[in-house]
Structure 1
Amino acid sequence: MHIWNYLHGRGEFLAFLTYQHASLAFQTVLVGTIVAVIIAVLVYRLPVFSALTLTTSRVALTIPSLALLALLIVPFGLGVIPSFLMLAFFAAMPVIGNAIVGLRAVPDSVIESAKGIGLSRRRILFSVSLPMAWPVILTGIRVSTQMIVGVAAIVAYVLGPGLGSLIFNGLSRLGGTNSVEMAVTGTVLIVVIALVFDALLVLLGRLTIAKGL
């Protein structure tokens, strides 16, 4: 009953925090994905650079998010900017690896056939290579989204937006009134956001992945 008592009268406030959290996650994954695909397109044909980029993207995921956030506070201060940069950085990492792998997996015979009918390199990239690599790229985006929705709670440490403030305020007041309810509510809402985003990405895959891929 305590959780329902806590929720009563706080619907608008919780909806606002949920919107902030979902919006921050969506925007950072979108920016991270665009940057990741651009980097992958630039390096996937270069064996040394693609291998180095793959390794770097995997190693980068081992960087503690709080440490990176603390470093970003120095030039950018508290608030949205360091939060956004940290999340966009981590959002790009899984997508870079998948994009490189997906683009390199496109059969050479398909590329040669496309060249044989007179398609330019840019046309081949956008009409052949990227569509064929899209299922693998989308898998990376799903992994990235799930990770970012969870990691986004940490930005509360630098006064960033979202549900993290609810969780950390509850934990800091543990033993006080509504402390557990605050932490549980924030955690549950983050899980809900993650599930909704994943369902939307599954739907996107069904709508955009050609049959046979």
Structure 2
Amino acid sequence: MQLWDYVQGHASSLTFLTYQHASLAFQTVLVGTLVAVLIAVLVYRLPFMSAFTLTSSRVALTIPSLALLALLIVPFGLGVVPSFIMLAFFATMPVIGNAIVGLRSVPASVIESARGIGLSRWRILLTVELPIAWPVILTGIRVSTQMIIGVAAIVAYVLGPGLGSLIFSGLSRLGGANALEMTLAGTILIIIIALIFDGLLVLLGRLTISKGLQ
């Protein structure tokens, strides 16, 4: 009951923080996806480079996010810029692996058939390979999105936008008025954002993946 009273009393600020959090996650995942697919397109035909990129992307995920944020403070200061760069970096990593695996899993016979009807390499990539690899790439995007929505909370440490500020303010004031309600509200709203985004990505998959690949 106290949580509901808190939500009702702070609806405006909670709505704004939720929008900030969702917007930051959406933008960083979008940028990360574009970068990841571009990198995958450049390396997937090169066995050594694709293996190196796959390994590097997995190792990069072990970098502590707070440590990377601390390093980014030096050149970029506090606020949105280091938050965006850190999240976009981590958003890229899961998608790179899936994009490379998806592109390399396209049957050679399909590619040869496309060449046989006179399609150029780039047309084969855009009209044959990427559509076939899309279900695997989309899985990487879903993983990336869920991870980023959670990790985005820590950008509050560098005065970044989103619900993290609400959570950490509540934690720093535990025992005080509304401290628990602040923490719970922020956490629940992050979970809601994650569920909505995942539902939208599932819908996107149903609309964009060929029925023969589902």
Structure 1-normalised TM-score?
Answer: 0.99
What displacement does 1:212 show? Answer: 1.2
Aligned to 2:27: 27
Aligned to 1:11: 11
* Whole-angstrom distance in 2 between the partners of 1:209 and 1:50: 25
Per-residue Cα deviation, 1:21-74 (whole angstroms, up to 9, x for no partner): 000000000000000000000000000000000000000000000000000000
Structure 2-normalised TM-score?
Answer: 0.99
* Whole-angstrom distance in 1 between the partners of 2:104 and 2:208: 20
* Whole-angstrom distance in 2 between the partners of 1:31 and 1:98: 16
* Whole-angstrom distance in 1 between the partners of 2:46 and 2:161: 39
What displacement does 1:9 show? Answer: 2.3
* Whole-angstrom distance in 1 between the partners of 2:6 and 2:120: 61
What displacement does 1:167 show? Answer: 0.1
Structure 2: which 5+ runs fail to align?
none
- Give the alignment's Cα RMSD to 1 decimal: 0.5
What displacement does 1:175 show? Answer: 0.7
What displacement does 1:4 show? Answer: 1.9
The percent identity for this pair of structures is: 81
* Whole-angstrom distance in 2 between the partners of 1:132 and 1:3: 47
Asked if 1:143 corresponds to 2:152, the answer is: no
What displacement does 1:10 show? Answer: 1.0
Aligned to 1:122: 122
Asked if 1:192 corresponds to 2:196, the answer is: no
Asked if 1:113 corresponds to 2:122, the answer is: no
How does 1:157-176 map onto structure 2 within 5 Å? 157-176=157-176
Aligned to 1:133: 133
What displacement does 1:8 show? Answer: 2.4
Q: How many pairs are equivalent?
A: 213
Secondary structure of the corresponding residue to residue 174 of structure 2: coil
* Whole-angstrom distance in 2 between the partners of 1:4 and 1:99: 43
Per-residue Cα deviation, 1:139-198 (whole angstroms, up to 9, x for no partner): 000000000000000000000000000000000001111000000000000000000000
* Whole-angstrom distance in 1 between the partners of 2:35 and 2:147: 17
How does 1:81-96 map onto structure 2 within 5 Å? 81-96=81-96
Stretches (4+) displaced over 4 A: none
Secondary structure of the corresponding residue to residue 212 of structure 1: coil
Per-residue Cα deviation, 1:74-100 (whole angstroms, up to 9, x for no partner): 000000000000000000000000000
